[in-house]
Structure 1
């Protein structure tokens, strides 16, 4: 039979989708039959990865797409499976990560009028009035399949939208009867649905931006996710080196600039103080950043001129958002920076001014490096996040891919893992915790020969559904090292409460209901679910050897390793 289910698999295969991360339900007989038929007949289809948890499935697709730029597919069942995607949908939407999501619908007939008609009690309970509305605010596109005749065209269109900037997830639904419907095969070519071409800067903007940088005493570029395209990082390094422009990362979700470059000025997250470099800048170019600064604690000088280049410069899906940018351009970062560099090839550069700027930022870079080195010294009794991260850096090297969900330890991890190469550190780019485990599986499937290291807080580790993650990692042979920054509770809500009520009752309370005491056996969960190497580390002198042993388990034994490292209690 050639059904709508067959057509969907064929379209995904044509579009270059390598994996379907699946949590099948009673609404998927057509897909299950089409998959079995394809395997029996030797017809190529995307590989199916069984995910017992829907959010993990979405995180897998998210991680794969972040690393490769190619959208993958997620299959869930009806309204229940859609709701179980939960925060992972938020992550993909806010981080502009392309994912194709398909969910079934309860059958639309109940007396056997068509193949796939209702035959289980659950199909009445799962029938809701607007299933697509559950996730519509987060989707770039949503649609319902109504006929088997155009399934392939809708799949290709949805992927075209997902992979066009600003990228994001798409959501397609189809009732059982539609998915069971037989049809004639339709010939399609994925090349007929290309993503929108990268947008350039207007010619006048190129000249204006170069003039603004050259006139500035302290020009600064602020970025968060420019490094999603390694070509943009290359162009940024070239541009900044030529003109002596400093680079500050704000809430970075990628490696946006080499940390060893003298022009690199560090990164800012929720630091409760004014960033000196940001405050001193007289011209700021924001490139690909959702939160370039937090005005209540750290912001540019009132005299600073601000410009923005972004695929989504107005952040139209965020109801409250603005910065005082007098120049605002919707453009692709790599394309725009290449234009600026090409213009510099023809422009007169004030080399003396550029050298003054280079010397200034290089001195600030040296001061920062000295302070980071001081923080990496081991304590006598307590393991610090800075020391722990430095131990991991020394053991895993500069080529390992670090997946960062450290939450209150985001800055320490980012500072001390000190990535220099594009594509060697990722954060989710959004706000729903529990992304790391699935992301590591997706990335490892994409690039099996790379070493992957998850660095996560204990709270975000629990959110990641580790029993599902480590079962999947063993089944699909995707080993990675996990380092848990265990402060035995949710530290982030405590910080938030004290920031708003520094002298209130919360500041004096002994218990804010945020601790995880008695501590769960985090590494034991991974060992039980997936045969992972498990180790609890409580003393500074045991950290380096523990990381080395865990890494050996990953590289030599090809199994996951989880290090439960105890920091100071929250």
Structure 2
């Protein structure tokens, strides 16, 4: 006689902690509330059983929590979790999310939602005053302009699938914050382990920016080979530390004047002769060939005379600026991808095509940039 399959019931909160482990989330930066009771209970049970879950870091304010997660992501490249309290915590996190969204830093913001049952119909039903006053009509609207994705967990059956979807989107280029809302009744549901699937990164993982088409690289290389006064403007090319030395090598080889306008990262050593400062206006006005590399705002158009003769290429992890309603900067050639990879492609193409005449002219430009660099240092 066949034995019936063994049923192992756990709460959605239990599977949620499992899902966070499967994502590799190491830290939860938290400002907790009554909406998190099932998660706190699951954490306590796990600890009593000697099971490891993401470490909780209690933060006095949601702004602190989100920025701590941001710092960890900047240092490691791995987005972490932030757990906040319903609409109030979400509102407190909004300004930090603005920073992360514009800086393309991954973080998984999670907030509870006030229970939707009033009379004890389900585990997790409303049992306190704040469950009534902390339920807006559209909680996600508080952060919608500053997230790549938002979702309300409808059932524990898809807890791990929703977490994987959130993680894949936040870690895919261009990276950024995502927002997941967790109703208390959903967290308190019980499900058999066989009902809750895992979604491994090998099959459901993020997408990384890559290289540019070789024909496009060749077209840009030919423009630089013919340029008399090339200029490059960046803001966050240095988000990958390996790009810093590469950009300096490219600038030296091709004699390119480089500016950091409103920099988010150090993109070029400031003692490099090719580093021309932070205000590109004068050079942009007379350049014949320009490159925008990982930059959101290369200059202020109102303050810049138009230079219709300049030819521009744009290399960026977000070349079309999807999050900007208006973005009016010139680009004859756009390449969306990993700037470190694309700059390496470009340097290789230039080396393969460089003539002695080009090398001499580029060296002469670098010597002139060195003189200008020394003069700025003296002043």
TM band (smaller chain): over 0.9
Change (3 A) 1:25 1:126: same
Residue-by-residue CA offset, 1:381-413 (whole Å, 9 max, x unaligned): xxxxxxxxxxxxxxxxxxxxxxxxxxxxxxxxx
Unaligned 5+ segments in structure 2 are 1-8
**Which residue matches 1:335?**
341
**Which residue matches 1:348?**
354
Of residues 259, 263, 276 in structure 1, which corresponds to 2:282? 276
Cα drift, residue 279 of structure 1: 3.0
Of residues 72, 95, 98 in structure 1, which corresponds to 2:106? 98
Contact 1:20 1:49 in 2 (8 A): yes
Cα drift, residue 300 of structure 1: 6.3
Residue-by-residue CA offset, 1:281-307 (whole Å, 9 max, x unaligned): 221100110110012224563422211
Residue-by-residue CA offset, 1:294-327 (whole Å, 9 max, x unaligned): 1222456342221111121121211121112221
Unaligned 5+ segments in structure 1 are 269-273, 372-570
How does 1:521-540 map onto structure 2 within 5 Å?
none
Matched, 1:250 2:264: no
Q: Distance in 2 between matches of 1:361 and 1:7?
A: 59
Of residues 23, 39, 48 in structure 1, which corresponds to 2:31? 23
Of residues 175, 180, 190 in structure 1, which corresponds to 2:188? 180
Change (3 A) 1:338 1:175: same
Cα drift, residue 345 of structure 1: 3.9
Q: Distance in 2 between matches of 1:74 and 1:221?
A: 37
Matched, 1:163 2:174: no
Q: Which moved more, 1:72-81 or 1:185-194?
A: 185-194
Q: Distance in 1 between matches of 2:190 and 2:328?
A: 51
Contact 1:281 1:300 in 2 (8 A): no
* Aligned-partner SS, 1:158: helix
* Aligned-partner SS, 1:285: strand
Q: Distance in 2 between matches of 1:299 and 1:232?
A: 31
Residue-by-residue CA offset, 1:431-483 (whole Å, 9 max, x unaligned): xxxxxxxxxxxxxxxxxxxxxxxxxxxxxxxxxxxxxxxxxxxxxxxxxxxxx
Runs of at least 4 residues off by over 4 Å: none
How does 1:227-238 map onto structure 2 within 5 Å?
227-238=238-249
Cα drift, residue 278 of structure 1: 3.1
Q: Distance in 2 between matches of 1:276 and 1:148?
A: 58
Q: Distance in 2 between matches of 1:66 and 1:298?
A: 33
Q: Distance in 2 between matches of 1:237 and 1:184?
A: 57
**What TM-score does the superposition give when structure 1 sets the normalisation length?**
0.62
**Which residue matches 1:83?**
91
Contact 1:149 1:184 in 2 (8 A): no
Of residues 168, 172, 191 in structure 1, which corresponds to 2:202? 191
Change (3 A) 1:288 1:178: same
**Which residue matches 1:210?**
221
Residue-by-residue CA offset, 1:195-254 (whole Å, 9 max, x unaligned): 213232122111111111111111111100111111222322222222121211010011
Contact 1:289 1:310 in 2 (8 A): yes
Change (3 A) 1:300 1:368: farther
**Which residue matches 1:482?**
none
Question: What is the root-mean-square deviation in Å for CA atoms of aligned residues?
Answer: 1.6
Q: Distance in 2 between matches of 1:325 and 1:364?
A: 28
* Aligned-partner SS, 1:340: helix
How does 1:32-71 map onto structure 2 within 5 Å?
32-71=40-79
**Which residue matches 1:136?**
144
Q: Distance in 1 between matches of 2:244 and 2:16?
A: 36
